[in-house]
Amino acid sequence: MRKRMYLVPASCILFILFFTVFGERGLLRIYHLSREKQEIAEKVTEVRGENEKLKREIEALKTDRRYLESIARKDFGLVRPNEVVYQFPSSDKAQAKTQQPVSSVVEKKR
């Protein structure tokens, strides 16, 4: 009989503890929500930094003629009148060209 007296309150306490830890508003849920809040705060900080960078670029495009000219030259390949443009092969193309003539020379000699 004494064991039953301890069993009922113990089961009630276990029931309450279970829902305290694993329930909808339990400790695990609170932990997951705090981690999610921290991740969202980091993303907000990152997006704000990117937003500031874009605002500075917009302002530079509106006011800085040299920046605008550099964008036009780099992205669109524009040049000024009477300007000479020199184009050099990239390292990938240069390596391919050095490998091709060797094989073509060998084939031509045969």
pLDDT tens digits for range 11-26: 888 888 887 777 777 8
Lowest-confidence range among 28-32, 54-58, 68-72, 75-79?
75-79
CB 27 within 8 A of CB 21: yes
The DSSP code sequence of 11-28 is HHHHHHHHHHHHSTTSHH
pLDDT at residue 94 in the model: 54
Q: Is the pLDDT of residue 2 over 80?
A: no
Q: Is the pLDDT of residue 109 over 50?
A: no
Cβ atoms within 10 Å, residue 81: 4
**pTM (2 decimals)?**
0.52
The DSSP code sequence of 41-66 is HHHHHHHHHHHHHHHHHHHHHHH-HH
